[in-house]
Structure 1
Amino acid sequence: MKLTLLPELALFVHVVDQGSFSAVARQTGATPSAVSRSVSRLEQEMGCKLLHRTTRKLRLSDTGEKVYEHALEMLAAARQAIDSAGSRQAVAQGKLTLSVPKAVGRFVIHPLMLEFFNRYPQVDVCLRLEDRVLDLIDDGIDLALRITHTPSPGLYGKPLMPVHHAICATPEYLQRHGCPQTPQDLREHSCITLGETPADSRWKFRRDGKTETVQTRGRYAANHTAVRLDAVKQHLGIGSLPLFTAREALASGEIVPVLPEWEFISSYSGQLWLLWSGNKHMPARMRAMIDYLSEKMKPA
């Protein structure tokens, strides 16, 4: 093989690690087609297929697996040579894209960004605030935060914090309309729900192994947590809220929990997981964010 193909070999490793041509293109300033042509030149020179390409994924061929392992050794040796000369340090730099549920992004992650930027002045962050699950490879996501009990197989990750739900109201609302003593009492109240599907108004509770479902009603529904929180604060009714969004208002007494002895069951409950698609040769900027969020969100 020509030594002039060594840059193509290094780019091939980068493509495998990132899982897509477009992700490498964004990080290197090239176009996806240019990255693809580089890998094609390497395949042509070697006379074999290294990657199987589909519309959604890249997969190594059997030969590609062997070439990838040898290329990793080559790059590791190159890094050792450079590091031994003291000319390169592992500095966190570049752009980092995070996929985050809307409420988690607004109430949990966004407040932590100022300190992160101060710590890592060479890292840029793009928050993708969407409740739908994005594909880490196809959508160019470096790290994803997802609320789940069981993370997707094939992904690496770590749990950051539990996510619980609560129903809350203001003391003023409860003084005017009464305080529910059982889940069934909610039928007589104005309940502020998610409002995306009919099931969102059917609230489920659990206590001592017993489960109760209540068909709630109300004049106001909103599929944004901050809006529901504000509606509760305006005495418009009893609202369902992730606990991390309501914690400050609960601590100040502006709102109070309703039926606190009952567990509110929501699909938006579980563990908040930080997930990524590869664990080899992780960019320093990814490691910096993983370590930072783990530090800031560890249990008190």
Structure 2
Amino acid sequence: MSMNPIMMFLEEMVIFVRVVESGSFSEAARQLGISPSAASRGVSKLEKGLSVQLLQRTTRKLRLSEFGEEVYHCCRSMVASAKAVMEMGAKFATEPEGVVRIGAPKAIGRYVLHPFIPEFLQHYPKVDVQLLLGDGHHDLIDGNLDLLVRVTDHPPPGLVGRRLFPIRTVLCASPDYLVEHDVPLHPQELERHFCIGEGGTTSGGPWQFRKGADRVRVQAVNRYSINHSEGRLDAAMSHIGVTCLPQFVAREELERSRIVQLLPEWEFTGAGGQGSAWLLYQSTHFLPLKVRAVVDHLVDRVRQLSWLHDDGASAGEAGSGSRPERIN
């Protein structure tokens, strides 16, 4: 096949990928810096060139056709490869240089990653870091990210990952609150306490605990709910009630005795946020020096935080020692 037809549709393939991932022609056009009509024409041109319908258009949403699903995955791989090609020059630089964009959950970014960024910037004066914090779903390609931190038991397939640390949740409350309401000695007693939840309703979801073979589910009644761990920490220190927090968020205030851990012999397993924090990036043989430098720096520093690794595993020890692990 001549290369001419392929070259004719490269731009349309990029438009098609952006339309699918953004969910609309207008948003794809905004991201690409073109008009919505140009985005629509690009997809139509690709459909005409392939002689098949890729998108089923309705007044409310776009839906991939069966053939469009296959074309999308091929085009997305092409876009990822094109990005890798654009970054290949950095691989052969004498020192790391450029911008590295990292997407991470708010609490992990604030308490675990951010403290190590200033030191990195001092060591690598030609590398700039953009740390983008948010508890929504980040995507490496759609978000134009170099690195992604995600809390999960099952990292997405097709990526390369470094396991940073296990997520451990602790139950805690302020000493003043416990003086007034007594210390719970069993998870079931939490049903008589005011709780601070992370959901959007006061009814909350079940809190689940495990100790050996024992399993307990408690229907927590939330007097206050806030979907941010720092907010729950502040509420607990304001003596509102009992809350669950990532151990790395609660650690300093536990050491200062401004809050105390409850039911330490029980493992908190409910209310989400379980698993491990993974540092993920695209599978490529041409990882830019700037990205490699950030990965090595963060993994090394997190490994040194012994209080994070209560299960005996250090950062990077996820089935392949300290080497990156390909997610299948």
- TM-score, structure 1 normalization: 0.71
Residues 176-255 of structure 1 mapped to structure 2, 5 A cutoff:
176-196=180-200, 200-255=204-259
Contact 1:105 1:129 in 2 (8 A): yes
| 2:296 is aligned with 1:296 | no
Aligned counterpart, 1:59: 77
Gaps of 5+ in 1: 1-7, 13-18, 21-30, 34-51
Confirm or deny: 8 A CA contact 1:151 1:273 kept in the other structure.
Answer: yes
Kept after mapping to 2: 8 A contact 1:101/1:131: yes
Encode CA deviations 1:91-138: one digit per residue, 9 max, x unaligned.
111111111011111211122221111111111111221222222112
* 1: CA distance, partners of 2:160 / 2:294: 14
For 1:14-66, what per-residue CA distance to the aligned partner results, in whole angstroms no more than 9, with x for missing partners? xxxxx99xxxxxxxxxx888xxxxxxxxxxxxxxxxxx973994335xxxx9x
CA contact (8 A) 2:235 2:241 kept: yes
Question: Take 2:172 and 2:188, find their aligned partners in 1: how far apart are those partners?
Answer: 16
Structure 1 residue aligned with 2:109: 105
Match for 2:281 among 276, 283, 295? 276
Query: Following the alignment from structure 1 to structure 2, what is the Cα–Cα distance between the partners of residues 240 and 198?
Result: 15
Residue 112 of structure 1 aligns with an amino acid whose one-letter code is F
Kept in 1: contact 2:202–2:224 (CA 8 A): no
Match of 2:268 in 1: 264
TM-score by length of 2: 0.65
Letter in 1 for 2:200: E
Over the matched positions of the two proteins, sequence identity in percent amounts to 37
1:141–1:280 CA distance, 2 compared to 1 (3 A): same
Q: Is 1:147 aligned to residue 151 of structure 2?
A: yes
Q: How many residues in Structure 1 have an aligned counterpart in Structure 2?
A: 240
Moved more, 255-264 or 188-197: 188-197
* CA apart distance, 1:232: 0.7
Alignment partner of 1:138 is 2:142: yes
CA contact (8 A) 1:53 1:59 kept: no
The residue identity in structure 1 corresponding to 2:276 is Q
Whether contact under 8 Å (1:169, 1:235) holds in the other structure is: yes
8 Å contact from structure 1 (residues 194, 201) kept in 2: no
The verdict on how the C-alpha distance between 1:280 and 1:32 changes in structure 2, with shifts beyond 3 A counting, is farther
Q: What letter matches 2:76 in structure 1?
A: L
Corresponding residue SS for 1:139: coil
Q: In the TM superposition, what is the alpha-carbon distance from 1:165 to its structure 2 partner?
A: 0.4
Q: Which amino acid is 2:187 matched to?
A: P
Post-superposition offset of 1:242: 0.6
- What is the root-mean-square deviation in Å for CA atoms of aligned residues? 3.3
Instruction: Verify the 8 A CA contact 1:57 1:137 in the aligned structure 2.
Output: no
Q: Distance in 1 between matches of 2:204 and 2:277?
A: 21
Give me the whole-angstrom Cα distance separating, in 2, the residues matched to 1:98 and 1:56.
25
Q: 1:120 to 1:226 in 2, by over 3 A?
A: same
Cα 1:184–1:107 shift into 2, 3 Å: same
1:269 CA displacement: 1.6
**Structure 2 match to 1:48:** none
Whole-angstrom distance in 1 between the partners of 2:74 and 2:104: 21
Q: Is the 8 A contact 1:163 1:269 kept in 2?
A: yes
